[in-house]
Structure 1
């Protein structure tokens, strides 16, 4: 699945979204996020920095994950555009793989947390990593979730780091189940992956598949980012329109609209 045309990328994203695997390549040590679902980062349009550069003051980089069994109705902070990474098993040759550290079934309010955003929120014991609290299943997570009156920053995240091998695959599958059991709050609150921070100005080697926009509000930001990426790296990526579901029974739509592109190729 290397770099493709705009319609091909929209088709890849749709296929990845509907692909509800519980492991990749029948390998119990390869969590499903390596080959299925859509990993996206909502960004705020700015002429002051390039969208692919992490905030220099952050300890890690936050993404959300869309899949048919892991959907949500809005982006973090109400943002309307951002970018998408290839699933690592399908990235073009020569691209790097920023380390995937942990996953929160609902937004983890990770900025003040220890351990690159995967650890405990300051002073909130209930926010320690799930496995360290003996929370290993979706049912255990939901029991914990229901005990927290204030969920932002009080919930735990699942360690899904590479060195856990099969335990990372199990943890991710349980976390996805937990998100689906979280009801209205979980559907209305995006989930959160935390990735290790990469260096500045790595646009040519990051596995960026596309920029995206949610409705017309995000289009100008995505067009600017698409143009900026081409100017800085020489690489064309499509701008993909994403329509998020407004009811739990609806699905996400990924569309390539030729007239919405700032750069044709």
Structure 2
């Protein structure tokens, strides 16, 4: 499978039972070279093609460890948590912010960003920097 339309077709297979058991992943591994980017793009296109179901289903990407043990090489730009989600989101982000700061040399401050998801597929997500959420400010 290489297109969003093919992925949606597999998801919508009539009489196929639970579509979560047939969902697929797009191969974006390094060895795909120039094919990895288009595969990732197709995965992004597939979700809204499922309408409300796509909006309500979770979305994830699994990546390999990035230079394990070398925190200064991690391309982390922010730690995010979902506002109004479970009460553990902010404490987890704060733990990660502090841990990353303590693991880098020289010390790197990475902000915590509050994500407020839209209430519908037509809505807009908001991303907010809140000073009170930060545990490391330097």
The one of 251, 262, 265 equivalent to 2:124 is 251
Number of residue pairs matched by the alignment = 131
TM-score, normalised to structure 2's length? 0.79
Q: Which runs of 5+ in 2 are unaligned?
A: none
Please identify the structure whose Cα radius of gyration is greater. Answer: 2
**Which of 130, 134, 138 is 1:261 aligned to?**
134
1: distance between equivalents of 2:90 and 2:134?
9
Q: In structure 1, how many angstroms separate the alpha carbons of the residues matched to 2:73 and 2:66?
A: 11
1:205 to 66, 73, 80: 73
CA RMSD of aligned residues (A): 2.1
Distance 1:158 1:143 in 2: 14
Task: Look up the SS of the partner of 1:136 in the other structure.
Answer: coil
More strand by share: 1
TM-score normalised by length of structure 1: 0.44
Which of 45, 65, 77 is equivalent to 1:177? 45
8 Å CA contact retained: 2:4, 2:45: yes
Higher helix share: 2
Matched, 1:228 2:99: yes
Q: Per-residue deviation at 1:145? A: 0.7
Q: How does 1:181-200 map to 2 (within 5 A)?
A: 181-198=49-66, 200=68
Q: Which structure exhibits the higher relative contact order, with contacts defined as CA atoms closer than 8 Å and separated by 6 or more residues?
A: 1
